[in-house]
Amino acid sequence: MKDLILSVKNLSKSYGDLEVLKDINMDVREGEVISVIGPSGSGKSTFLRCINLLEEPNSGTISYQNEVINQGKYNRRKLHREIGMVFQKFNLFPHMTVLKNITYAPQKLKIASKKEIEAKARELLSKVGLAMKADEMPNNLSGGQQQRVAIARALAMSPKILLFDEPTSALDPELVGEVLKVMKTLADEGMTMVVVTHEMGFAREVSNHLIFMENGYIVEEGDPKEIFAHPKNERTAQFLSSVL
Ligand SMILES: Nc1ncnc2c1ncn2[C@@H]1O[C@H](COP(=O)(O)OP(=O)(O)OP(=O)(O)O)[C@@H](O)[C@H]1O
Ligand SMILES: [Mg+2]
Q: Which pLDDT belongs to residue 75?
A: 86
CA distance linking residue 236 with residue 231, whole number of Å? 6
103 lines ligand 1 (CB under 6 A): no
Q: Which pLDDT belongs to residue 1?
A: 81
Q: Which pLDDT belongs to residue 244?
A: 84
38 Cα: distance to centroid of ligand 2 (angstroms): 10
- Pick the atom of ligand 1 nearest to 42's CA: 21
**Residue 73 — pLDDT band, cuts 50, 70, 90?**
confident
Instruction: Say what percent of the chain tops pLDDT 90.
Output: 95
20 lines ligand 1 (CB under 6 A): yes
Q: Regarding beta strands 67-68 and 217-222, do their DSSP bridges make them parallel or antiparallel, or are they unpaired? A: unpaired
52 lines ligand 1 (CB under 6 A): no
131 Cα: distance to centroid of ligand 2 (angstroms): 31
Instruction: Give the least confident one: 63-72, 161-170, 217-226.
Output: 63-72
206 Cα: distance to centroid of ligand 1 (angstroms): 26
List pLDDT tens digits, range 145-192.
999 999 999 999 999 999 999 999 999 999 999 999 999 999 999 999
Predicted model pTM = 0.96
Q: Which pLDDT belongs to residue 201?
A: 96
209 lines ligand 1 (CB under 6 A): no
**Residue 74 — pLDDT band, cuts 50, 70, 90?**
confident
Q: Which pLDDT belongs to residue 177?
A: 96
What is the pLDDT of the chain when averaged over all its residues? Answer: 96
Best CA proximity match to 165, nearest among 81, 56, 65, 43 = 43
Whether the Cβ atoms of residue 22 and residue 219 lie closer than 8 Å to each other:
no
Q: What is the helix, strand, coil percentage profile of the chain, to 5? A: 40, 25, 35
- Measured between alpha carbons, how far is residue 235 from residues 26, 42, 232 in Å? 20, 12, 9
